[in-house]
Amino acid sequence: MKIVILDGYTENPGDLSWEGFERLGDLTVYDRTSPEDIIPRIGDAEIVIINKTPLRAETFAACPQIKYVGVLATGYDVVDIEAAKSAGVVVTNIPTYGTAAVAQYVFALLLEICHHVEHHNRAVHEGRWTANPDFCFWDYPLIELAGKTMGIIGFGRIGQNTAKIAAAMGMDVLAYDEYPNDAGKELGKYVSLDELLAKSDVISLHCPLLPSTKGIINKETIGKMKDGVILINTSRGPLIVEEDLKEALDSGKVYAAAVDVVSKEPIEADNPLLSAKNCIITPHIAWAAKESRERLMNIAVANLEAFLKGSPQNVVNK
């Protein structure tokens, strides 16, 4: 059984092992694969493992021996699911590996907005505290989260884990989700989107990218938010109309934003958020703690083992 991993570097830049896959077949690992190399590198492999390398209909047509595609991520829009299904190819994803890491990262971003830790650390190292006549100083308003309201759009596993941290910090939690559940009701109050927008001091996005959620943060919905709201996005870049968010940041309607994802990745030089006021942008790393990537690796191997035993799990194209 030949296994090819087309873009393994992001999952494993060298601090993890591919041994689990090596046990299951003849493994070839590429750090990255350009579009023109996808079909040649797959060759006659029956098992294809990818992260963001696209597999389109022409790939399945050119490589009819493919039996299984494992996506090293939760999102699987890089695969033409219908083409894979028509070709009889099983496609799996990794649904739950990053819950703790992403929820933690939300608060790394939020607390940086609240306290500007790195800015003040740099100021101290530049000698500003040494030269200061007072025993302390700060360059930005310092924000206490206790007593404030966090609105969470998309209240699945990550959204609910984010709610637990928010509650531990003394925040009230409002949630908007198309499918409320009992676990969510224990962690926050389900409300309409309009009510969440109107009442939240902080809004964190945790919904999948669907036709109904694409551009959910836009000029109209921003207009319904509190003045001075803080926006966090660790979910999907296209949930936000970036030009509208830039306008709101520059005007002060939105006090600050922190995004780990953008509409096109890697970020393009003309992305409007690069020139927006009070906007933190990080390079899609909320998921990437080593512990999280270890879970991803273990689940990916387990997915392939289950497929080889005839009982595939986490299948996205049933």
Token readout for 115 is: 């306290």
Residues linked to residue 172 through DSSP beta bridges, in sequence order: 149
* 271 close to 263: Cβ distance less than 8 angstroms: yes
Q: How far is CA 252 from CA 184, 247, 267, in A?
A: 32, 9, 24
Q: Where are the domains of the chain?
A: 2-97+290-308, 99-281
* pLDDT tens sequence for the chain (318 residues): 999 999 999 999 999 999 999 999 999 999 999 999 999 999 999 999 999 999 999 999 999 999 999 999 998 999 999 999 999 999 999 999 999 999 999 999 999 999 999 999 999 999 999 999 999 999 999 999 999 999 999 999 999 999 999 999 999 999 999 999 999 999 999 999 999 999 999 999 999 999 999 999 999 999 999 999 999 999 999 999 999 999 999 999 999 999 999 999 999 999 999 999 999 999 999 999 999 999 999 999 999 999 999 999 999 998
**Spatial contact of 162 and 106, defined as CB atoms under 8 Å apart:** yes
d(CA 140, CA 127): 18
Tell me which of 2.40.30.30, 3.40.50.720, 3.40.50.2000, 3.30.1330.20 is the CATH number of domain 99-281.
Answer: 3.40.50.720
Does the fold of domain 99-281 match that of domain 2-97+290-308? yes
Q: Strand 149-153 and strand 202-205: pairing?
A: parallel
Distance CA 23, CA 144 (A): 51
CA angle 57, 59, 64 (to 5 degrees): 100
pLDDT for residue 173: 98
Which pLDDT tens digit goes with each residue over 46-104? 999 999 999 999 999 999 999 999 999 998 999 999 999 999 999 999 999 999 999 99
Count the Cβ atoms, other than its own, within 10 Å of residue 117: 11
pLDDT at 218: 98
- For the beta carbon of residue 40, count every other beta carbon within 10 angstroms: 10
Task: State the CATH architecture for 2-97+290-308.
Answer: 3-Layer(aba) Sandwich (3.40)
pLDDT of residue 238: 98
Residues serving a catalytic function are 236, 265, 284
